[in-house]
Amino acid sequence: MIQAQTEWDAPSGRRAAAELLTRYQQPVYQWCMRYAREHSAALDLAQDVLLKAYEKLQSFEQRSSFSSWLFVLTRNRCLNEQRRKKRFVDADVDFDGYDGGGTPPDEQLIDIESEEQLLELIRKTLNEQEQRALWMRCVERLSVDEITEALGIEDRSGARALLQRARRKLARAMD
């Protein structure tokens, strides 16, 4: 009637881990979709994240909730994959209507090695709201609607105009 173990790699621990991770498949997969933009690639990425999470379960100390810990792991894996494949943007992303001329700066952003360097660049170039919007869109891959809501923008064009303006400023700064 009872199964208990001290280690995640014991047979019952592995079953418990499988059940735990199964509960989080959906958010992990949907998050991977934001970066991969394609079902089978997102599936591969999500599987990789979930198995990596199992490997790291021994080090999960419950200093936060499991969902927060898994989110950070998923986010990190997606960003690394994005850098590795140099796919900051996909052909199906319309740069939210970017009309600044030339190539939008998004593809150059991926060449910036660290998040800290990117942060420094956008801080020097953009105002606070533009910084937030651009980071949410280009790094965290939130949708324009999600950004519009997060920033409380009531203008009809939502965050789209804000993103266009931020991209234009950034493109000029990176020239």
Partner 1 sequence: MSHPCPNFDDLPILLELEVDDPTRKDAESCPRCAAILEAHEAFIRAEPQPGSNPDEAMRKLSFALREALTPTAPMPATSEDADAVSTPSFNPLRWLMQPRFAMATAAVAVVLAATMWFSSGRDLVPIERSVKPSGTVNIESAALAASGSLIVRWTAHPRANEYQVAIYDASLETIAALEPVSGTEIEITPDYLPPLSAGLIYVRVRVLRDGDVIDISPPRAVQLR
d(CA 163, CA 175): 18
Taking the complex as a whole, how short is the minimal distance between the CB of residue 79 and partner 1, in angstroms? 11
Does residue 65 interact with partner 1 by CB under 8 A? yes
The tally of CA atoms less than 13 A away on the side-chain side of residue 45 is 29
Instruction: Measure the CA–CA gap between 119 and 135, rounded to whole angstroms.
Output: 8
Binding mask 99-118 toward partner 1 (x if CB under 8 A, else -) reads ----------------xx--
Show the tokens assigned to 78. Answer: 């997606």
Dist. CA 104–CA 122, nearest whole Å? 14
Q: Which of 100, 131, 165, 168 binds partner 1 (CB under 8 A)?
A: 131
Among 109, 121, 122, 162, binds partner 1 (CB under 8 A): 122
- Alpha-carbon gap, residue 171 to 173, rounded angstroms: 5
Which spans of this chain sit near partner 1 (rule: CB under 8 A)?
1-6, 11-27, 29-31, 33-34, 37-39, 42-43, 46-47, 50-51, 54, 61-69, 71-72, 74-76, 115-116, 119, 122-123, 128, 131-132, 134-136, 139-142, 146-147, 150
